[in-house]
Structure 1
Amino acid sequence: MDLTPYVETLRRELAVAAEAGGDDARELAERLTAPLESAARLTMLNVLSAAADEITRELAPGSVDVRLRGLDPDFVVTPPPADSGAATEPAGSVEPPRAPAESDEGGTARVNLRLPAHLKARTEEAAAREGLSVNAWLVRAVSAAVDAGGTQPRTAEKARTVGQSFTGWVR
């Protein structure tokens, strides 16, 4: 997404407003437009990021990410997985946990998570298999662990087969 047209519109609007103030205001507006360009771009990126977070909450377990490429943001949309395989699953199969609904108490929080390289790679592979972003996959995994309350035993007997993947705890 090219932000340049929006920055130029802001620059033109500032120039029009300065025209009403005379020559001194026009000179001041010309001196301010260059430093304001980076501030305007940063503000627009913050707005786009907040919008992507809001859309992600509504789209969960899908997601929308904003990535910066040079000076311009790009959107990466990961749609929720299709339920097309629901009719072919065995009757006793367990549906994977859904991403949690947002509570009325607040928005999202940023957490820095450090993973060993091999676990990060496995996490990325698991997310890709389910058609999710790593963030959406981690939100789902944390939600399932918290909702379980830690009361489920972590044994190999707890594992279940769902399609061609395995779910459950292993020691």
Structure 2
Amino acid sequence: MNLTQYVDQLRQELAVAAEAGGDEARALAERLTRPLESAARLTLLNALSAAADEITVDLAPGSVDVRLRGVDPEFVVTPPPAAEVFDARAEYAALMAAQAPPPPAAPDAADDGGTARINLRLPAHVKARVEEAANRDGLSVNAWLVRAVSGALDQPDARPGGKTGHREAWNSGSTFTGWVR
């Protein structure tokens, strides 16, 4: 989506408003329009992101994401599956039944079955692998991630303080801080 036309329109509207104030106001408006361009773009981007979030709530389990390419945003729409309604609990139950482990613990009584939205940033190569795995399993990326996280959380050695299997070295108390690219 090209934001330039909207920023230019805002610049023109400011110039028209400044004409009413005379030469001094017109000169001030001309000096302010260049610095305001980046602020206007950022404000438009924030509005588009908020709109995408609202649409995603109505479209769930589909989604609308706003990505910035250069100076212009682009929308990425992931439609919900047409033939089926996503049920995370049913997906998880089917996965667990196929692997035949002991039955999972009963959900907490406080669990109201609602969903929550989070933003997850993945490196591009990991995202590509997640998309491939989801396609291979015939699931949406969201359903696949819910299944993977649920499975990881229900593994006895994945719990904090768990000291079994290959996770023992991981939970050895070593910590790392910083940014990873």
Q: So what's the TM-score if we normalise by structure 1?
A: 0.60
The one-character-per-residue Cα deviations of 1:124-160 (angstroms, maximum 9, x if unpaired) are 323344463x4x3477448x84xx9x78989xxxxxx
Unaligned runs of 5+ in 2: 93-112, 158-181
Note the C-alpha offset of 1:122. 4.4
User: Which residue is 2:165 aligned to?
Assistant: none
Unaligned runs of 5+ in 1: 85-93, 103-107, 155-171
Distance 2:156 2:83 in 1: 29
> Residues 50-129 of structure 1 correspond to what in structure 2 (within 5 A)?
50-83=50-83, 95-96=90-91, 100-101=114-115, 110=119, 122-129=129-136
Amino acid at match of 1:125: E
Distance 2:58 2:29 in 1: 41
Distance 2:80 2:69 in 1: 25
Identical-pair percentage:
62
The answer to whether the Cα contact below 8 Å between 1:65 and 1:76 also exists between their aligned partners in 2 is yes
1:113 to 1:62, Cα distance in 2 relative to 1, 3 A: same
User: Which residue is 1:20 aligned to?
Assistant: 20
Distance 1:131 1:36 in 2: 44
Q: So what's the TM-score if we normalise by structure 2?
A: 0.57
The answer to whether the Cα contact below 8 Å between 2:91 and 2:147 also exists between their aligned partners in 1 is no
1:25 to 1:123, Cα distance in 2 relative to 1, 3 A: same
Distance 2:20 2:144 in 1: 54
Distance 1:139 1:20 in 2: 57
How many corresponding residue pairs?
133
Distance 1:120 1:7 in 2: 33
User: Which residue is 1:163 aligned to?
Assistant: none
User: Which residue is 1:168 aligned to?
Assistant: none
The answer to whether the Cα contact below 8 Å between 1:100 and 1:140 also exists between their aligned partners in 2 is no
- Flag the structure with more relative contact order, 1 or 2, with Cα contacts below 8 A and sequence separation at least 6: 1
> Residues 153-164 of structure 1 correspond to what in structure 2 (within 5 A)?
none
Note the C-alpha offset of 1:13. 0.8
The answer to whether the Cα contact below 8 Å between 1:56 and 1:62 also exists between their aligned partners in 2 is yes
The answer to whether the Cα contact below 8 Å between 2:66 and 2:75 also exists between their aligned partners in 1 is yes
SS of 1:96's equivalent?
helix
